[in-house]
Amino acid sequence: MEYGLDLEYSFNEFLKGFGLSSEIAHIIWLPLPMLLVLVAAVVGVLVTVWLERKISAAAQQRIGPEYAGALGVLQPIADGLKLLVKEDIIPAKADGILFTAGPILVLVPVILSWLVVPFGQNLLISNVGIGIFLWIALSSIQPIGLLMSGYASNNKYSLLGGLRAAAQSISYEIPLALSVLAIVLMTNSLSTIDIVNQQSGAGILSWNIWRQPVGFIVFWICALAECERLPFDLPEAEEELVAGYQTEYAGMKFALFYLGSYINLILSALLVSILYLGGWGFPIPVELIAKFLNLPINAPFIQVFTASIGIVMTVLKAYLLVFIAILLRWTTPRVRIDQLLDLGWKFLLPISLANLLITAGLKLAFPQFFGG
Amino acid sequence: MSIAITTQIICFTVLSLVILVGALGVVLLESIVYSAFLLGGVFMSVAGLYLLLNASFVAAAQVLVYVGAVNVLIIFAIMLVNKKEDLKPINDIKSRRIISTSICLTLLSLLIRVDLTNVWSLSSPQNSIGEESTIRIGEHLFSDYLLPFEVASVLLLMAMIGAIVLARRDVMSNDISTGLPVDQELIEKSSEPLLTNKN
């Protein structure tokens, strides 16, 4: 299965052509994919914000942003610029250090998690062995940032919002991790690359969603709860808590929360598509297409075609899920806090445990279908 | 010296400094909230040290368990019971400080002595298992370390049952801390939602 573009190798060879040592070439290479992914994440946020505004407008029979660029596509940039130049206010009775560190602690783990998101066989920053486990570990740091900003704001609504956010995040992490564990059990590996390759056998038919339907639904619900999207946006429920832990924030610090929540949404959608929807895989296997066209799988044309199809498919699947998340936000009511915790602990946790047990049993009973 | 080794030395120095300064801050700072957050920073830096030692699984587990669970719980507890109250001044604070400092310094000198006298068998970087370590840890947990693993889970179960008993006061008729009978009226009972039984 080791085919596909290896940009790093080609780039290093290219630099060595200028007489640089391989170490220097590696150091020049290192920041490039990081910058690329950071830019991709920010552009993804801009697109998602525009989609959110347009889809919410359609759901409420409005027009939505219209004047900033064609169909209002420049509106998110205008929003971002506004937040960038706004005055940075730290409330007089707030705790300055923690107030500043909170939003950073919320944003950084989310961006770090992009390390393991693959867009193709070699198109990811680092194929670390612990792969998906890194994401689970990093996402557990976020509650600390939320608690920190809630506490530092010195405002009862902020503190309540921060506590709620942390409670929600902790309780939904467990079913999330358990449903990922079922996938890992089938793959025999934690690496995101292996997880996608395991699903690439027969195109759409071999995607994990058919083998893990329960896990898919549990994971999606938990991912929405982790992103604090409506129906689970209790930490910032306007009617009860003003804006939760964000109440005292303005300007760029608020923008960090905003950016963090949208990057997290896109990340969750990408991970759902990687874990359950075949990642960069095309619904029809590329090998079949290559055979149909009578081209060898290693031909340069096929390689470029595979890589671009991979990126397009990953982004397409992710944005389909983002669309569903936005539609859910504007059409469903919010749950109460006790309903939220009941759903997490009394429903999703037992179901995901049972799912894990059944997956393990099926793996032993039908090793050819559930990974041997 | 190659670039990789230089990077490693810089990372090691920064991480050790953060661990030392952070740990001192946890102990010496007056504000308990700062101590709790600094503790999180120390845990993170320890995870960074594991990462430097090529133990990425242990590093991620450290972040998940210590930062994501233990530290969040500590902060939770502090924030839920953060009462502003004037603490009573202790009379012999100076002698207490001297005693605790000397105990800590004795322990430290013992550890330094162990470090200097023991012959550490270091595996060369060529022999390190790296990414294989996840599989190795799993194998050990289900073979020669099975009993400690299972005993630890029983311990966690006991702690959980204890927490439930403490939290659900209606299990016991007397309050644990004061010994007075518990007012059963005060215990929250799940009530019927208001809207479901209409029409």
pLDDT of residue B123: 66
Identify which of A57, A4, A64, A8 has the alpha carbon closest to the alpha carbon of residue A31: A8
pLDDT at B15: 92
Closest residue, chain B, to A171 (C-alpha): B69
**B76–A129 CB contact, under 8 Å:** no
Residue A248 contacts residue A98 (beta carbons within 8 Å): no
Rounded to the nearest integer, the mean pLDDT of chain B is 80
For B106, phi then psi, to 5°, come to -60, -45
Check if the beta carbon of residue A132 is closer than 8 Å to that of residue A190: yes
- CA nearest to B79, candidates A319, A12, A158: A158
Check residue B42 and give its pLDDT.
Answer: 93
Give the list of residues 6+ apart from residue A222 with CB closer than 8 angstroms, or none.
Answer: A172, A173, A175, A176, A179, A344, A348
Put simply, the answer to whether B3 touches A147 (Cβ < 8 Å) is no
**A140, A144, A173 ranked by CB distance to B75: nearest:** A144
Closest partner CB to A140 (pick from B37, B68, B130): B68
Is B167's pLDDT higher than 80?
Answer: no
Q: Do A151 and B79 make contact, defined as CB atoms within 8 angstroms?
A: yes
C-alpha A26, offset from chain centre? 28
The answer to whether the CB atoms of A170 and B4 lie below 8 A apart is no
Q: Give the number of other Cβ atoms within 10 Å of residue A198's Cβ.
A: 18
3-state SS of A57-99 is: HHHCCCCCCCCCCHHHCCHHHHHHHHHHHCCCCCCCCCCHHHH
The 10s digit of each residue's pLDDT in B76-116 is: 888 877 666 666 777 778 888 899 889 999 999 999 999 89
CB of B67 within 8 Å of a chain A CB? The answer is yes
* CB contacts, 8 Å: A166 with chain B: 72, 75-76
pLDDT digits (tens, 9 = 90+) for B28-81: 887 888 888 999 999 999 999 988 888 888 888 899 889 888 898 888 888 877
Q: Is the CB of A143 less than 8 angstroms away from the CB of B131? A: no
Contact status of A136 with chain B (Cβ, < 8 Å): yes
**Portion of chain B with pLDDT greater than 90, in percent:** 26
CA distances from A319 to A186, A273, A279, A313, A316 (A): 26, 10, 13, 10, 5
Higher pLDDT, B68 or B181: B68
Task: Tell me if A269 sits within 8 A of A325, measured CB to CB.
Answer: yes
A11 touching chain B per CB within 8 A? no
Look at residue A231 in the predicted model and tell me its pLDDT.
Answer: 78
Q: Which residues pair with B181 in a beta bridge?
A: B174
Within 42-61 of B, beta carbons closer than 8 Å to A belong to: 44, 56-57, 60-61
Confidence check: pLDDT of B194 > 60: no
- Do the Cβ atoms of A144 and B134 come within 8 Å? no
Asked if B64 lies within 8 A of A166 by C-beta distance, the reply is: no
Q: Is A23 on the interface with B (CB under 8 A)?
A: yes
The segments of chain A whose pLDDT lies below 50 read: 1-4
Which whole-number Å values give the CA distances from A265 to A167, A229, A270, in the listed order? 19, 8, 9
Contacts of B130 in chain A (CB under 8 A): 129
- Please write the tens of the pLDDT for every residue from A347-369: 899 999 999 999 888 888 887 77
For residue A149, the SS3 value is helix
Which residues of chain A neighbour B63 with C-beta distances below 8 Å?
Answer: 137-138, 140-141
**CB contact (8 A) between residue B134 and residue A130:** yes
pLDDT at B193: 52
C-alpha torsion B88→B89→B92→B96, nearest 10:
80
Q: How far apart are CA A209 and CA A204, in angstroms?
A: 9
Q: Is the ipTM of this complex over 0.95?
A: no
Does the pLDDT of residue B173 top 50, yes or no?
yes
Chain B residues whose beta carbon lies within 8 Å of the beta carbon of residue A127: none
Across the interface, which of A98, A134, A143 has its CB nearest the CB of B37?
Answer: A98
Q: What is the DSSP letter of B174?
A: B
Task: Find the largest Cα–Cα distance for chain A.
Answer: 72
CB contact under 8 A, A173 and B68: yes
Enumerate residues 6+ apart whose C-beta is below 8 A from A41: A111, A114, A263, A266
Pick from A136, A148, A190: CB nearest B64? A136
- Residues of chain A contacting B134 with CB distance shorter than 8 Å: 129-130, 190
Which is nearest to A234 in space by CA: A138, A145, A163?
A163
Rounded CA gap, A285 and A196, in Å? 13
For A152, nearest residue in chain B (alpha carbons): B33
Q: Is A29 on the interface with B (CB under 8 A)?
A: no
Q: Name the DSSP class of A345.
A: I
CB contact under 8 A, A170 and B130: no
Nearest to B131 among A129, A136, A162 (CB): A129
Question: Which of B4, B72, B130 is the closest to A143 by Cβ?
Answer: B72
Confidence at residue B113, expressed as pLDDT on a 0 to 100 scale: 93
Q: Label residues A90-120 b or e (16+ Cβ within 10 Å = b).
A: bbeebbeebbbbbbebbbbbbbbbbbbbbbb
Helix (H, G, I), strand (E, B) or coil at B181: strand
Task: Look at residue A158 and give its three-state secondary structure.
Answer: helix
Q: Do A27 and B69 touch (CB under 8 A)?
A: no
